[in-house]
Every structure is written in C-alpha cells, then in structure tokens.
C-alpha cells in the first residue's frame, strides 16, 4: 500500500425528497444567488427542476437557469454559463442532472473567477485554485461526478474530450441523491450507468500497487452489490431498494475510496473518451465495449489480477490464472450483454471507427504511454481498438 491522503468533503443527502433540501443546503453554504444547470428536459418533465427551484425560492435564494446541456458536454455552454454568472453576480452553481450537467457546472465554477480562458485548466496551462461552490441534485447514477473532483469537457475545436482532475477544488460541496428520481431513466441509460460505475472501480482495481487487500475487498464488495442489484433495477425500474443500492454504488465507485493506497490506471477511460468525443456515444456504453477489449489485451501478459477478480466477484473456480482470466472476461461480457449493453463498435453504432485518428488524439492528449497497470503505447492502444471491432 502506498501513502495517501483521503479527503472527500462532499456532504451527501440521500433518500426520498432529497432534492427538496436544496434551499436549506444551499443556504447553509451561504449562497444567495445561484445558476441552476440542467440538461435537455428530463429534469423539467419529471418535476424535479420545479421542486428544486421552489425550494430555493422558499429559502430566499434567487436563481437563473441554464438548460440544454448536451450529453458529452462541450465548451460553448460553459462559456455561456461563465458569461451569465459574471453578469448576474452568481455566487454558486446547482447542477440538476447527471455527469454532463455536473461537469458543465464545475467548469463554469472554475471559469468565473479566472481571468484567462477556462480551457487553460483542461489544457494543463493553469491549475484551478479558486472556484464557485457547486451543489448537485443527481438524476442518474453513472459518472460519479457528484462525489469526484473531476470534470470532463469536449472542446469543439478539434473535438478534444479531456478529463480535468482536481483534488478538492471542483468536488461538489453537497450532493442530494434521491433514488426515486432515477425511476424515469430509459433502460439503456440505466445500463450505461452501471457499466460506467463498474469501470470506475476497475480502473482503480487494476493497479501496479500490491498489498492493498482492504481496498481490493471494498472494491470487490461494491462490484458484487452492483452485479446483484442490476438485474432487479432492469426488471423493475421503480424498485426503490434496487435503485437506492445502485445509486450509492455509483457514488462509492468514484469518490476515491476504491483507490486509496494505490496507483490508479485510467487507460480504459482515456480510450473511451476518444470514442465518445468523435462518435457521441453514451460514455458508459462505450466502456462496455472498451473494458473487455482492454482486459483481453492485458490478460496476455498479466492475467493474475483478472483471475482474482473472476474468483472473488464472478464465481470463477478455475485454478490456472490465464484460463481463469479468460473465463472472467467472458462473464463480464455476458453480464454487460444481459443488461442490453453493446460489446462491439458496430453494436455501439460505430460502423467504421477511425482507429488511427483516435490513437493519434489519445496519445497527443495523454502522452506516449497510457495508464499505470500495463503502460500502453500506440501499438497497444491500436490493438485494443481493433479488439473492439
Ligand atoms: O439531458 P436530459 O434530458 O436531462 O437527459 C439525460 C441525458 O440524455 C438523461 N437523464 C439523466 N437523468 C435522467 C435522464 N433521463 C430520464 N430520467 C432521468 N432521471 O440521461 C442522459 C445522459 O446524461 P449524462 O449526464 O450525459 O449521463 P452521465 O451521468 O453518464 O454523464 C456522462 C458524462 O460524464 C463524463 C462522461 O465522459 C460524459 O461526458 N464523466 C464524468 C466523470 C467525472 N466528472 O468524474 C467521470 C466519468 O468517468 C465520465 O467520464
Ligand atoms: Zn466513467
């Protein structure tokens, strides 16, 4: 285990009507005039946006709306948000939605007090120091942005999708999680969210750091809970208990606890971000295609940890590591398929992916070698993209 500092200052308010706490929670943060950020209408249609703004009004907080955030969000909405915040002296952000909405709110929060262009942070030219406080009402358990310090934005000029990682600066101050808000999710979004949260654990599980038994066991436990609850949530989208378990798994998967004491990998996410940047697929669906291909590549030289995953999480009994790894990958694919997730680029809706372009952007964005578990050069990443065909 390597030394670590674990600090997740997000306050979680979990349960029915959590969104109605918005006014009280934001007042406790001292906020008086906020920007409420949302997507393309699901939050309005379900009524959650109305309940949130009513709660703000009751608490004496004034608000302005910024809606229409796209999945795989891009820079123009961030710039629009920064402009509005400056014009209206906004003192905080409230994201009502999923990863795309939350990440846009975080980017606005970073950009408002900054004199230069907000993209400087994503381009690695500046480090986020000051930022407006961000609060969240989560409507889809998936990206884990409600508990992470990260924000993933695509620059439309060149379609560069970059994940900015901050330790504390962009972590939400409060996240309100009501599992009932997720009843309206279409099955493909529920499934994509499940693949994403599993990937967030696996990116940390496949680590070059040995002797992290406690973190391995926590990770395996959350994975087992996801695998146990997923069939229930797909069969009965209004099962409170299944939705609640999946929602909390999504947060635990990505708020850092599954990475304590070890180096993390994150190559599969970088590989996927090139797919969703160019082809605008749902990030989690993309990961369902990427992860088995990544593991197939890794299993050729490092099968032992995949075999451990299989034995502890997927009920694999095979003693030989290489054979156990192969069975594990098949079981992971079968699990994704059972949720209706794609397993190939074609099933993802990408018939002729431009692999050389994705590999070029990937290594321009991330350097010559990608990831920590098995550092990948461009030959390796090309092979992994080919394994997805
Ligand atoms: O736009 P609306 O109408 O709200 O519809 C959304 C959107 O179409 C819909 N939706 C959300 N809640 C709903 C609902 N529909 C019905 N009922 C509800 N309750 O779901 C669709 C997807 O929303 P989105 O926010 O894009 O989903 P997700 O949470 O999967 O976020 C994906 C984005 O997050 C990034 C991804 O790359 C992608 O851009 N990520 C962010 C991370 C972070 N900040 O830590 C980490 C992740 O690895 C990920 O990369
Ligand atoms: Zn993800």
Percent of the chain with pLDDT over 70: 100
Cβ(309) to ligand 1 under 6 A?
A: no
Cβ(215) to ligand 1 under 6 A?
A: no
Q: Which residue lies with its CA nearest to atom 45 of ligand 1?
A: 145
How far is Cα 355 from Cα 224, in angstroms, rounded to an integer? 34
Q: Calculate how far, in angstroms, residue 291's C-alpha sits from the geometric centre of ligand 2.
A: 11
Report the pLDDT averaged over residues 105-114: 98
Q: Which residue lies with its CA nearest to atom 26 of ligand 1?
A: 71
Secondary structure letter of residue 118 according to DSSP: T
| Per-residue pLDDT tens over the stretch 283-334 | 999 999 999 999 999 999 999 999 999 999 999 999 999 999 999 999 999 9
| Per-residue pLDDT tens over the stretch 185-208 | 999 999 999 999 999 999 999 999
Give the atom of ligand 1 at the shortest distance from the alpha carbon of 38.
4
Q: Calculate how far, in angstroms, residue 283's C-alpha sits from the geometric centre of ligand 1.
A: 8
**pLDDT confidence band for 229 (50 / 70 / 90):** very high
How far is Cα 1 from Cα 377, in angstroms, rounded to an integer? 27
**Helices (H), ranges, the chain:** 22-28, 42-46, 48-58, 75-88, 99-111, 119-122, 187-205, 213-235, 240-254, 267-279, 283-299, 304-313, 321-338, 345-348, 355-366, 378-387
* Nearest-ligand number for the alpha carbon of 161: 1
* Nearest-ligand number for the alpha carbon of 148: 1
The per-residue pLDDT for 315 is 98
Report the pLDDT averaged over residues 11-26: 98
Cβ(150) to ligand 1 under 6 A?
A: yes
Rounded mean pLDDT of the chain? 98
Give the atom of ligand 1 at the shortest distance from the alpha carbon of 73.
39
Q: Calculate how far, in angstroms, residue 269's C-alpha sits from the geometric centre of ligand 2.
A: 6
The per-residue pLDDT for 42 is 98
How far is Cα 196 from Cα 144, in angstroms, rounded to an integer? 9
Residue 193 token pair: 């969210």
| Per-residue pLDDT tens over the stretch 240-272 | 999 999 999 999 999 999 999 999 999 999 999
Bridge partners of residue 135, in order along the sequence: 94, 174
């Amino acid at each position: 285990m390597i030394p670590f500092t674990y600090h997740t200052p997000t306050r979680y308010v979990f349960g029915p009507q959590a969104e109605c706490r918005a006014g009280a929670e934001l007042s406790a943060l001292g906020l008086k005039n906020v920007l409420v950020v949302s997507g393309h209408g699901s939050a309005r249609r379900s009524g959650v946006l109305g309940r949130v703004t009513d709660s703000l009004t009751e608490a004496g907080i004034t608000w302005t709306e910024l809606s229409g955030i796209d999945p795989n969000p891009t820079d123009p909405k961030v710039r629009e948000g920064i402009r509005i915040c400056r014009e209206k002296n906004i003192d905080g952000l409230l994201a009502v939605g999923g990863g795309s909405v939350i990440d846009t709110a975080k980017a606005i929060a970073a950009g408002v007090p900054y004199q230069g262009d907000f993209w400087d942070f994503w381009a690695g030219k500046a480090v986020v120091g000051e930022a407006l406080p961000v609060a969240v009402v989560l409507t889809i358990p998936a990206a884990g942005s409600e508990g992470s310090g990260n924000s993933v934005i695509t620059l439309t000029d060149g379609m560069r999708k970059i994940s900015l990682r901050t330790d504390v600066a962009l972590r939400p101050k409060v996240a309100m999680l009501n599992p009932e808000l997720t009843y309206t999710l279409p099955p493909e979004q529920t499934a994509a969210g499940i693949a994403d949260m599993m990937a967030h654990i696996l990116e940390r599980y496949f680590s070059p750091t040995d002797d992290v038994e406690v973190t391995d066991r926590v990770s395996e436990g959350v994975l087992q809970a996801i695998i146990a609850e997923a069939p229930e949530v797909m069969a009965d989208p209004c099962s409170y208990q299944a939705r609640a378990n999946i929602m909390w798994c999504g947060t635990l998967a990505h708020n850092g606890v599954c990475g304590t004491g070890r180096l993390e990998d994150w190559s599969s996410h970088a590989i996927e971000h090139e797919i969703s940047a160019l082809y605008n697929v749902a990030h989690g669906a993309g990961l369902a295609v990427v992860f088995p291909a990544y593991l197939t590549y890794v299993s050729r030289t490092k099968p032992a940890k995949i075999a451990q995953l299989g034995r502890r999480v997927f009920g694999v009994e095979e003693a030989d590591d290489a054979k156990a790894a192969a069975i594990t990958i098949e079981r992971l694919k079968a699990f994704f398929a059972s949720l209706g997730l794609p397993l190939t680029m074609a099933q993802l809706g990408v018939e002729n992916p431009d692999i050389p372009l994705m590999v070029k952007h990937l290594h321009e964005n991330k350097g010559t070698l990608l990831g920590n578990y098995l550092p990948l050069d461009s030959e390796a990443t090309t092979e992994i993209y080919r394994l997805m065909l």
